[in-house]
Amino acid sequence: MHLITLIPGDGIGPEITKAVTDIFAAAKVPVQWEEQNAGQTTFDQSGELIPQALLSSLEKNRVALKGPITTPVGKGFRSINVTLRQKYDLYQNVRPSKTTDGIKTRYEGIDLVLFRENTEGLYSGLEVYDERLGIADSFNRITKEGSRKICRAAFAYADKHGRKKVTLAHKANILKMAGTLMLNACKEASNEFPHIVFEDKIIDNMCMQLVNKPEQFDVVVTTNLFGDILSDLCAGLVGGLGVVAGANIGDDMAIFEAVHGSAPDIAGQGKANPTALLRSALMMLHHLGEHTYADQIEKALEATLKDKNKCTGDLGGPASTSEFAQAIIANLQVA
């Protein structure tokens, strides 16, 4: 039995988390959830944005499944997501995007995995505002070691999973120092894996290539901000934010969460698609070595996605979050 920290999060978080835990219970997955929370609601109840109980649970279990957490725009507290990623050095944000039978998209044959650096860059939290001059500076801190770790992780993943190519998306033509540091780190990492093709693309060209011919990409590695934007773009290529998974991975802790946010526009209405969080939970099962359970649930999910009548509104179906989850549970019998 694996003890897992479960963070339901805000907005649609509790609805999609319930769908996932229901499916796991029906599949008799050997996990035991330890529920904790963070963010504004938690602060209102307990006076703590990130309760010590959550940190202790993470430090004990080392694996978590997390729903999205709302971050106020322009004011208020610092992102809980960024704080946890930095505190535990979860330097890899791994986000696979793959076309799926049954999910209608403009493209076919996409199967790429994005490695986003998760602790540095413009998300370092180093910002100053000089009110007198009306100047705000946000520092794009890139370190040699941080770049080395994320680039090496991308190549090691490609090697382990039989992938053929790693593409670095950067802006070293303008960001002469920070961009070049990452580019050099990636070149160095590529020397260790000569059987994997390495290419680099300037980020603006990368965006055009991704919408023009996305099937050419295999593993993509990039900085924090570029990765944040590119992963939503990639989600759009394969069916939207409702279907793409993610994982924040460090050397001794991993927090699995969907790419999407708390979706306040549909929260509490039973409209959210739990596929993204479910797929994140399946990544978690692979991480735990529970491949058989992951494969069984994935088959049931894929069978469900092929039946439009069982899908949620974002995929053109009429089903609610819980109806979709029940359909996956029904398909577990045949998977």
Which positions touch ligand NAD (CB under 6 A)? 12, 16, 68-71, 81, 241-242, 257, 260-266, 272-273, 276, 314
313 exposure class (CB count in 10 Å sphere: 0-12, 13-18, 19+)? middle
In the complex, which residue's CB is closest to ligand NAD? 261
- Extended strands (E) in the chain: 2-7, 31-35, 63-66, 92-98, 111-117, 127-130, 135-138, 165-170, 197-202, 219-222, 247-249, 254-257
User: Judged by CB, which is closer to ligand NAD: 170, or 279?
Assistant: 279
Which distant-in-sequence residues (6+ apart) come within 8 Å of 283 by Cβ? Answer: 94, 96, 245, 246, 247, 256
Minimum distance from residue 33 beta carbon to ligand NAD (Å)? 18
User: Judged by CB, which is closer to ligand NAD: 8, or 179?
Assistant: 8
User: Judged by CB, which is closer to ligand NAD: 30, or 268?
Assistant: 268
Per DSSP bridges, beta strands 247-249 and 92-98 are: antiparallel
Residue pair 181/142 in contact by the 8 Å Cβ criterion: yes
Minimum distance from residue 185 beta carbon to ligand NAD (Å)? 26
Minimum distance from residue 301 beta carbon to ligand NAD (Å)? 14
User: Judged by CB, which is closer to ligand NAD: 259, or 303?
Assistant: 259
- By C-alpha distance, which of 112, 18, 34, 95 is closest to 328? 18
Minimum distance from residue 79 beta carbon to ligand NAD (Å)? 7
Strand partners, 98: 111
- Extended strands (E) in 99-209: 111-117, 127-130, 135-138, 165-170, 197-202
Minimum distance from residue 116 beta carbon to ligand NAD (Å)? 12
Minimum distance from residue 334 beta carbon to ligand NAD (Å)? 25
